[in-house]
Structure formats: structure tokens, C-alpha cells
């Protein structure tokens, strides 16, 4: 309103001025009235021309890409241009902020370890993060706006998506059959869907391992229990001679020993899995462990084998003595059990060139065929089940050794050839081993 007034005022002033000049001219020329009318018309015309030029300037700017500044002007057109530009720039700013928020939001979803896919009302892909794309074998850019069921053809997925009942996740094999996916669909908005996917291959594998483990343990315990139950029945129901009674009792003893060994190994494994790693600052002389395990092996062999011990007097290990003793004990126990009488067994401490060391148990026993080697450390994996059981094996020895090695930052290295003996090395990293003289130096410095 203010600008309209000032514009009108300006127009009036100009009209009056021009009319005044024209009147003066008219008076001088004795033609006052026609001259005033002419002056007024000219002034009006000039004003209209000026106004439309200024308006045209603003219109040209509005028609353009609006990237440059609006035309600067005074008065009405100036105010209009200023207000239009201000509204435009604040819209642009709000839009930029929204876009930034959206891209931050999408980056957050992109960072999710789970797959996220958004579908429109026609099940066409609106957006998909890279994890989701990998799960379903999609290309997040190329497959945009494609109907998902044309690209992901797993029947369980298609049926679930079209079933309209999304209370529970559906589980099915991934596109290449190497993975297992768990997919949850959540409807939102106007018929849109959020598809959340998770790779549960590892979880399924662990679950299968747990089931196998429970089944194996039950089987291992049930067999001696059945035998024991039979003997108890025999003893209760039959009048046995003293010799027969002694024989049955000794067989019962064998079965209870077997169960005891099994429960002992299970407890050892549970302890290894459930306790923190042995500290890397508790040093112990490795010779103590080696000598104790060597003495046990001699007792077990009862003179049937030659068992040698070599090295280790000058070495220390940072770790747990009971765990290392259990590992070396298991390796020696196996060597005795799988080496025919008269064979040679060696327990050695070997320094390695990388600064680490290995505790090696080498035997000249029956050896192991190459195809079994990768699976030897699995729980209850045996090359020959009856030989293992007959010699008091639980099938858990090498998995205990592997656990101990891993808890000390090391690994188990197995070399064997059928009929030519085996070498089992518990390899320890440089961080966990040192020569004894370094221990003396460390004490002196402290
Ligand atoms: P087990 O109680 O059956 O000996 P382990 O886990 O200690 O269980 O060993 C797994 C399998 O590896 C054994 O059943 C056996 O077939 C094989 N094995 C282990 N040590 C030796 C060895 N020194 N010589 C030959 N075979 C071995």
C-alpha cells in the first residue's frame, strides 16, 4: 500500500511539474489549456513506460533459471523483486536441508549390517542398501523401479511377500544357495513395504553344530551306560562265579572310566570356552610342562614305546600351565595310543625363525590319510571310531589342543602320512615365548 501511494505521489508530482512547465509555456505562448493537457499526457506516458521496463526486468529474471540475483530496483518493483528472491532462497535453503537430512538418513541405513529395501505399492524397488542388494543379488542402481518379484525369484520370498501376513520372519536360502537369509517384511505408508534381511548363515551353522554336539555327547554317554545297565542286570539276576564276577566288574570299570574321561574332556572344553584368555605376562618354564607330560606318557606306554624328550630347558612361555600341560598331554596320549609297540615318540621344543616356537609331538605310528587332516580337530571326529574308543579316546583330544593353541595366540599344525607316522605341532607366537636368559635380564632390570 505504502509503495502504491508513493508511486502515485511520484506520478502526481511529475504530472504537476510537467503540467506546470507546459502551463508556463502556454501562458507565455497564450495557449494555457492545450499545453497543460499535452504535458500531463506526456508525463503519464513516461511513467507507464518506465514502470513496464522495470516490470519486464523482473519478469525476465523470473523466467530464467533464477540462479543470479534478482534485478535491484527501488520502489514497488524493487520491493517485489526483493521479496520474491527472499522467498525463493529460503525455499531453496529448506530444500537443501531436507536433502541433506535425507542423504544422512540413507547413509545411516547404508551403514546398517542388515539389508534394507523399500518397495512401493506395486512391489517395485524404491531404494535398497548395498547389504540388501548383496543378500538378494541385486544392483541398487540398475534395479531401481523394477518389480522385486521379477528379480528375486526364491519361491519362499515371493510367497511371503504376496501372502500379506508379515508377523514372522521367513527363512530361505540366498540366491546362490551359499547363504541362509532371514527376511522380515513391514508394511508402511500407502501400501509400501520395508524389507529387512539378515544373513543368518553363521548362526544356523553354530546352531547345527550345537545340535550335533548334543547328539554326539548323548550318543557317547548312552553307549557305556547301556553296557553298564546290562552288566548290572546280569549281576543282579545271575549267580556268578567269583571269576565271572571279577570279569564283569572289570568290564564295568572300563565303561565308567570311559564316561569319566568323556565328562572330564567336556568339562575341560567348557572351561576353555568360558574363561578369559591366559594373560601374556605370566611366564612359566616350558620344561616343567614337558617333563610332567613326558612322565605321564611313559606311565601310559608302560615300556611299550621309546619316548624321547628334547629341548625346552632354556625356554619360557607366557600362558596357562594347566592348559599347556593338558594340550601336550593329549598329543602324547594320542601318540602312545596310535603308535604300535616298539615305536619311537619324540617330544620336542623347537625355536622358529620368526621368533616363535613350537611344542612338537612326533611319532612313527599308524599315520593319518590326507583327506582326514582338515577335520581332525573337530569335536568327536575320529578316523577309526572303534580304535579310538578301544584305546580310551573321547574324540575331543585334538579339539582341546586346538583351543589351547588359539587361546595362546597360536595354532595347531598337523603333518601326517598314512603308515608313516605323524607330527603335531602346537605353534606359539613370538609374543608368548622367550629364552630363559631374557627372563633373568628382565628380573635384573626390575
Ligand atoms: P581321540 O580321543 O579319538 O584320539 P582326538 O581328538 O585326540 O580323539 O583325535 C582325533 C582323531 O585323530 C583320532 O580318533 C585319530 O583317528 C586321529 N589321531 C590323533 N592323533 C593321532 C596320531 N598320533 N596318529 C594317528 N592318528 C591320530
Provide the 10 A C-beta neighbour count for residue 427. Answer: 19
Nearest CA to 166 out of 187, 140, 135, 197 is that of 187
Ligand 1 probe mutation, 262, 338, 365, 385, most atoms within 8 A of CB: 338
CATH of the domain at 353: 3.30.565.10
* pLDDT, tens digit (0-9, with 9 covering 90-100), for 180-196: 999 999 999 989 999 99
- Burial class (CB within 10 angstroms; exposed 0-12, middle 13-18, buried 19+) of 358: buried
Enter the C-alpha cell of residue 284. 612359566
Distance (Å, whole) CA 157 – CA 415: 46
Ligand 1 probe mutation, 364, 365, 398, 417, most atoms within 8 A of CB: 398
Which pLDDT does position 12 carry in this prediction?
A: 62
Which pLDDT does position 177 carry in this prediction?
A: 81
- Residues 6 or more apart whose CB falls under 8 angstroms from that of 240 comprise 234, 248
Which pLDDT does position 22 carry in this prediction?
A: 64
Q: Is the pLDDT of residue 8 over 70?
A: no
Higher pLDDT, 344 or 9: 344
**Structural domain harbouring 233:** 205-274
Our measurement of the distance from residue 349's CA atom to the centroid of its chain's CA atoms, rounded to an integer in Å, reads 38
Determine, yes or no, domain membership for 99. Answer: no
On average, the pLDDT of the chain sits at 90
* pLDDT, tens digit (0-9, with 9 covering 90-100), for 248-264: 999 999 999 999 999 99
**Residues 306, 267 within the same domain:** no
Number of domains in the chain: 4
Q: Is the pLDDT of residue 210 over 50?
A: yes
User: 377 C-alpha to center of ligand 1: Å?
Assistant: 9
Cβ burial 16-42 (10 Å sphere, 16+ → b, else e): eebbeebbeebeeeeeeeebbebbbee
**Residues 225, 186 within the same domain:** no
Determine, yes or no, domain membership for 100. Answer: no
**Residues 12, 78 within the same domain:** yes
Which pLDDT does position 14 carry in this prediction?
A: 64
**Residues 73, 29 within the same domain:** yes
Find which of 15-29, 160-174, 312-326 is predicted with most confidence, using mean pLDDT: 312-326
SS3 393: coil
* pLDDT, tens digit (0-9, with 9 covering 90-100), for 218-255: 999 998 999 999 999 988 888 889 999 999 999 999 99
Residue that is last in its domain, among 199, 217, 241:
199
Measured from the Cα of 377, ligand 1's closest atom is 6
User: 401 C-alpha to center of ligand 1: Å?
Assistant: 11
Determine, yes or no, domain membership for 269. Answer: yes
Q: Whose CA is nearest to atom 16 of ligand 1?
A: 383
Determine, yes or no, domain membership for 228. Answer: yes
Q: Is the pLDDT of residue 76 over 90?
A: no
Measured from the Cα of 424, ligand 1's closest atom is 23
pLDDT band for position 25 (50/70/90)? low
Determine, yes or no, domain membership for 107. Answer: no
Measured from the Cα of 366, ligand 1's closest atom is 25
Q: Is the pLDDT of residue 197 over 50?
A: yes
Q: Whose CA is nearest to atom 8 of ligand 1?
A: 395
Which pLDDT does position 356 carry in this prediction?
A: 97
Per-residue pLDDT, averaged over 395-421, amounts to 97
Q: Which of 19-23, 138-142, 169-173, 316-320 has the lowest mean pLDDT?
A: 19-23
**Residues 190, 213 within the same domain:** no
Which pLDDT does position 16 carry in this prediction?
A: 66
Per-residue pLDDT, averaged over 85-94, amounts to 93
Q: Is the pLDDT of residue 201 over 80?
A: yes
Residues contacting ligand 1 via CB (< 6 Å)? 330, 334-335, 338, 363, 365-366, 368, 376, 381-384, 388, 393-399, 422
User: 333 C-alpha to center of ligand 1: Å?
Assistant: 9
What value, to the nearest 5°, has the Cα angle with vertex 192 and ends 191 and 198? 135
Which pLDDT does position 27 carry in this prediction?
A: 63
Find which of 56-60, 381-385, 423-427 is predicted with most confidence, using mean pLDDT: 423-427
Determine, yes or no, domain membership for 137. Answer: yes
Determine, yes or no, domain membership for 122. Answer: yes
* pLDDT, tens digit (0-9, with 9 covering 90-100), for 337-369: 999 999 999 999 999 999 999 999 999 999 999
pLDDT band for position 299 (50/70/90)? very high
**Cα dist. 18→5, 9, 236 in Å?**
20, 14, 141
User: 343 C-alpha to center of ligand 1: Å?
Assistant: 17
Please state, for a pLDDT cut of 90, what percent of the chain lies above it: 71
User: 15 C-alpha to center of ligand 1: Å?
Assistant: 116
Q: Is the pLDDT of residue 291 over 50?
A: yes
**Residues 188, 215 within the same domain:** no
CATH of the domain at 248: 1.10.287.130
* pLDDT, tens digit (0-9, with 9 covering 90-100), for 364-397: 999 999 999 999 999 999 999 988 988 889 999 9
HEC string of 277-326 equals: CCCCCCEEEHHHHHHHHHHHHHHHHCCCCEEEEECCCCEEEECCHHHHHH
Distance (Å, whole) CA 265 – CA 271: 10
pLDDT band for position 140 (50/70/90)? confident
Give the strand order in the sheet containing 357-363: 306-310, 344-351, 357-363, 422-428, 411-416
**pTM, two decimal places:** 0.71
Please state, for a pLDDT cut of 70, what percent of the chain lies above it: 91
End-to-end CA distance of the chain: 92
Determine, yes or no, domain membership for 103. Answer: no
Amino acid at each position: 500500500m505504502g509503495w502504491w501511494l508513493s508511486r502515485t505521489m511520484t506520478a502526481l508530482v511529475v504530472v504537476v511539474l510537467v503540467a506546470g512547465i507546459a502551463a508556463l509555456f502556454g501562458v507565455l505562448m497564450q495557449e494555457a489549456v492545450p499545453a497543460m493537457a499535452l504535458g500531463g499526457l506526456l508525463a503519464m506516458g513516461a511513467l507507464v513506460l518506465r514502470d513496464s521496463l522495470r516490470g519486464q526486468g523482473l519478469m525476465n529474471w523470473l523466467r530464467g533459471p533464477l540462479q543470479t540475483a534478482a534485478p535491484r530496483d527501488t520502489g514497488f518493483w524493487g520491493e517485489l523483486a526483493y521479496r520474491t528472491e527472499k522467498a525463493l532462497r529460503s525455499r531453496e535453503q529448506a530444500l537443501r536441508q531436507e536433502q541433506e537430512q535425507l542423504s544422512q538418513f540413507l547413509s545411516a541405513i547404508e551403514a546398517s549390517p542388515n539389508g534394507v529395501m523399500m518397495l512401493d505399492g506395486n512391489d517395485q524397488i524404491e531404494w535398497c542398501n548395498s547389504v540388501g542388494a548383496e543378500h538378494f543379488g541385486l544392483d541398487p542402481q540398475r534395479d531401481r523401479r523394477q518389480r522385486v518379484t521379477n528379480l528375486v525369484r526364491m519361491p519362499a520370498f515371493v510367497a511371503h511377500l504376496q501372502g500379506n501376513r508379515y508377523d514372522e520372519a521367513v527363512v530361505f536360502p540366498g540366491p546362490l544357495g551359499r547363504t541362509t537369509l532371514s527376511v522380515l517384511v513391514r508394511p508402511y505408508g500407502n501400501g509400501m513395504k520395508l524389507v529387512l534381511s539378515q544373513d543368518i548363515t553363521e548362526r544356523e551353522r553354530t546352531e547345527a553344530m550345537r545340535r550335533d554336539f548334543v547328539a554326539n555327547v548323548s550318543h557317547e554317554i548312552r553307549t557305556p551306560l547301556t553296557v553298564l545297565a546290562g552288566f548290572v542286570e546280569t549281576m543282579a539276576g545271575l549267580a556268578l562265579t567269583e571269576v565271572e564276577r571279577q570279569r564283569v566288574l572289570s568290564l564295568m570299570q572300563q565303561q565308567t572310566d570311559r564316561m569319566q574321561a568323556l565328562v572330564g574332556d567336556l568339562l575341560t572344553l567348557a572351561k576353555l570356552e568360558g574363561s578369559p584368555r591366559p594373560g601374556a605376562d605370566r611366564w612359566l618354564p616350558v620344561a616343567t610342562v614337558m617333563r610332567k607330560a613326558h612322565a605321564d606318557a611313559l606311565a601310559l606306554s608302560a615300556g611299550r614305546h621309546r619316548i624321547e624328550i628334547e629341548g625346552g630347558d632354556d625356554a619360557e612361555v607366557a600362558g596357562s600351565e594347566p592348559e599347556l600341560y593338558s594340550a601336550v598331554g593329549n598329543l602324547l596320549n594320542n601318540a602312545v595310543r596310535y603308535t604300535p609297540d616298539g615305536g619311537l615318540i619324540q617330544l620336542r621344543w623347537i625355536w622358529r625363525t620368526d621368533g616363535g616356537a613350537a611344542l612338537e609331538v612326533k611319532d612313527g605310528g599308524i599315520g593319518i590319510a590326507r583327506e582326514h587332516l582338515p577335520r581332525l580337530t573337530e569335536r568327536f571326529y575320529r578316523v577309526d571310531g572303534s580304535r579310538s574308543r578301544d584305546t580310551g579316546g573321547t574324540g575331543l583330544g585334538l579339539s582341546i589342543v586346538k583351543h589351547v593353541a588359539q587361546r595362546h595366540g597360536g595354532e595347531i599344525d598337523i603333518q601326517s602320512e598314512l603308515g608313516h607316522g605323524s607330527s603335531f605341532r602346537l605353534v606359539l607366537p613370538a609374543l608368548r615365548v622367550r629364552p630363559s636368559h631374557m627372563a633373568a635380564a628382565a628380573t635384573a632390570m626390575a
